[in-house]
Every structure is written in structure tokens, then in C-alpha cells.
Amino acid sequence: MSLLRVGPLVNLLLPNLRLIMSRSISTGTFKNTSPLNYRGGNRVKPIDSVGDEQAYEPSTGRVITTFACSGEKEVNEAIQSAKAAFKIWSQKSGMERSRVMLEAARIIRDRSEEIATLETINNGKSIFEARVDVEISWQTLEYYAGLAGAMAGQHVQLPGGSFAYTRREPLGVCVGIGAWNYPFQIACWKLGPALACGNAMVYKPSPFTPLSVVLLAEIFTEAGVPTGLFNVVQGGAATGEFLCKHPDVAKVSFTGSVPTGSKVMEMASKGIKPVTLELGGKSPLIIFSDSDLESAVNGAMMANFLTQGQVCCNGTRVFVQRDILEKFTDEVVKKVKKIKIGDPLMEDTRMGPLINRTQMDRVFGFLKTAREQGAKFLTGGELYTPEDPKLKGGFYMTPCVLGNCRDDMTCVKEEIFGPVMSILPFDTEEEVLERANATTYGLAGGVFTRDIQRAHRVVAALQAGMCFINNYNVSPVELPFGGYKKSGFGRENGQVAIEYYSQLKTVCVEMGKVESVF
């Protein structure tokens, strides 16, 4: 029985059978045979395509599924299906939408081990991290379910008993385009506020990680959304272009690279569609000499090595005040050497493989340039071959710490998107702020210090949308997430995301006679 196609009989045996199923799947055994598009409440093969894609199990290098990329006709069918469902969903009260979303969150909780296992198989991150991602996902839906029933406008009293009010209304059919590093979680980040506001969504996951989002679509059908409210189309750039240019799409939310984000924005602009862009980063993490050293070291680890370093908001430029540089570096190197690399489905693994060979080659290209430009390899940065024979074809490398780094080095200026930390010394607060902001990115930034005044002063000066004091890479759903500069605009999460999935209507009510100047 395929993990991805759970029949009616299995549904009756929840949750224990699903837990047994997920635990029975070991590395190197999974292969998907089910359709990966989801339209009209069912898995379907696209009615037309623009080529095929293959998705891998990064830990073994095996192809685990081959699928057709959705063509223009299939994209149109998915959008029309969502458009019909929108007419039903948008007329429901916030409380009615809330109940359905809470039911979806409950199902995700019940099936969390199954979802996390599938995410690990397709993405390569450790099962430990995947479980956290799934937990954040159902929390996201619960959070926006709570806001769905609380959406309200404003009443404004005008002279003579007249008044005005505002209505927050849904946009229509929204398009979500996700990234491969957090496939299930990013889908929930986009879907939660979209559905809470009364919208429908057509979602395109990354072609590298097509599996788990289809599971999410099935869950929402089971939870009771109108048929077609959440549809999934698979594909790459061509499929994304059909989505962005479609005249019936009201909004596009994209997570991914800066070059692709620029193209999405350009395509959406032709139809005057609003966009939310969550793009790349090269974020600074500033460690002052008065920091709690153990916490600062742990923060730097969290800022660089989650999901094999494939995280857009990672603090990969670690600025360390010179008088603690040696001690800090020694402690970081000790910890990095202890990271357990291997089969991501094993409980004690903390670092799995990179997403694919292309990404691994890209990371090693950056490391080659770093060596040529004078960076010192303090640890790691090498191919890693696990002892387990079934993992020999996986895309593994040892986490890397670079010293002797300068601001003009390629490894310091450009986003590597791999497990590579660059350590740079600094002397003064003024100096480090100028250097930290000398980038076209502005997604995140962090500071470690015991001086609370300096902490607030530094984050106020950082040109970044998400800042951390004495911690890093914590993103509760209650907090808005998004960037400055080329890291994008708009926000995901938090109450403010409601504004990006709705539009405001003003209604002016005259209670007296109308006078005319004519």
C-alpha cells in the first residue's frame, strides 16, 4: 500500500495504522506510484503537460517518483475548480471556516509521524527536524482558525448621523509557489491566512519536493472544505508562468530565490496582481564579547546548520568581536565536529543529505572559490560517504566552518544555501553595523550580548525584516516573517498576514438629504 494513497478502510483505523505505516518505511524502500496533482477533491494526472520531472530521495540518490509537469490546460482546470469553490467558501462565516481549519489541524496532528516521515524521505532533513516542521504546520492552521472568526472592519462616525464602515473581503483564487526546504510548512504558512480570509488556493510545490503538499490537500478535503478549494499542480518554471499570468488569479505568494522572485513579480505585474515574495538572504549574526559564550555558540549552530544549512534566513555571516574570536571559534568547531551525519530517518541523526547533486555541486563550487580567495577551512567542507551501503549514492557533505574570512569574499557575499558558516572578526559596534548592512539582502539578523540597550540599538539599526536577540532561527507563527531589500516584501505569519490575503472595502452611508452644488 502506498503511503500517499490511504484508502477508506485505512481511514477508519486512524491513527494507529498510519503510525505503523510510517514507522515501517525505512530509507531506500519508498517509491510513489500515485498521481501528484490534486484537483476537484481527487488525485489526478494532468490533462496536459510540459515535460516530466523526477524527484529523489536525497539520502540514497534514488528516484522515488516521476511526474508530469502541468500544462496550461491543467493549470486552467485547477484555477476554475478553485474559482467555483471560492464562491462557496467566501460566503461562509469566519466561525464556519474556523471549524474546518481546526479539523484540518487535528488531522495533521494525528498523522504527524506519517507526514514527517514523508518529508524526510523527499527532503533529506532529519526526522527530528521534520517533526518540528509538522508541529509548526498544525499550529499555523490553529492560529489562523482563531483569527478567521475575529476578522472585522471599522466603524467611523460622520457629521449629521451619517457614518462609514470598512469590510475586509477575500481576494479570490490565490496562487502559492513553495520552496523545497520546508515543503509542508511553507504550504501551511500560505494556506492558513488565505483560507481564513475566505480565499481559494492553487499551489505549486517545488519539483524537487512534490509529495507532502498533496497529502495536505487530501487532509483539507477530509476536513470538509468545498471541493476544489485547495488544488495542487506540479511542475517547474513553465507551470509557474501559467499560474502567474492567468487572468483569474488574484494574488501570488512565492518563496524561493531572488532571480525567480523577480520573474514572478514581473509576470504578476502584467495583471496588476499583488505579490508576496519571501526570497533569499545572507544574514548577519553579531556576537559581542560580553555574550554568554555557550548560548552564542549554540545560537550560531542553529543559525547555520538546520536543514543542512538550506535555510533562507540563516545567519551565515557570523561577526565575532575580536577579543573572544579564538575562544568562540574553538567552541564552534568542537560542536560542528560532533554533528551526527547519516540516515535522516534515524533518531540520532542531526544532519542528513543536501537536496540533490546539483545543489551539492553548487555548494562545493562556493567552497572551491573560498579556498582560492584565502579562507581557512577550520573543519568540514568535504564529501561524506556514510558506512551504510544503501546511503552510498546520497548527497552528503560535512558541515563546514570557514575562518580568515573577509567581507569581499564570494562565500561572504553570496547565498551558498548549504552547511557553511563564515566567521569574521570585528572591533566596534559602529563598524560591524556598517559591514552587516553592506548587502543587497535583508531577510534576518541577530545579536548576542548581555547589554540590553546595545541589543535593542543594534537590531534597530539592522536592515532586516526578522531580527533575533540572544537567539536565532525561532519563528513562531504569531510573529510576522519577511524581508527588506532584495529579500522580498510582504509578510507571512502573524496577524498582519491577513492584510496580504484580503482587500479593504470602504462603505459611506448618508443618513440625511443629499445636497447638490449644481
Residues 328/387, Cβ–Cβ less than 8 Å = no
Element (H, E) at 142: helix 127-148
Alpha carbon of 58 to those of 62, 125, 185, 336: distances in Å?
7, 9, 19, 21
Query: What nine digits make up the cell of 355?
Result: 537536496
Burial tier of 295 (Cβ tally within 10 Å: 0-12, 13-18, 19+)? middle
Contact yes or no for 323/289 (Cβ under 8 A): yes
Respond yes or no: is residue 278 known to be catalytic: yes
Region for 397 from its dihedrals, namely left if φ exceeds 0, alpha if ψ lies in -120 to 50, beta otherwise:
beta
Cα–Cα distance for residue pair 419/402, rounded to 1 Å: 11
Residues 6+ apart with CB under 8 A from 71: 46, 47, 48, 49, 50, 238, 239, 242
H or E stretch covering 195 = helix 183-196
Distance CA 508, CA 158 (A): 9
The C-alpha cell at 53 is 520531472
**Phi, psi (degrees; rounded to nearest 5) at 228:** 95, 0
Q: Which residues contact 418 (CB under 8 A, 6 or more apart)?
A: 308, 309, 310, 354, 359, 360, 362, 363, 366, 397, 400
Q: How far apart are CA 124 and CA 440, in angstroms?
A: 30
Q: Which of 57, 113, 129, 278 is catalytic?
A: 278
Residue 68: which of 178, 207, 245, 182 has the closest Cα? 207
Chain centroid, CA 481 distance in Å: 10
| Separation between Cα atoms, residue 321 and residue 424, nearest integer Å | 9
Active site residues: 278
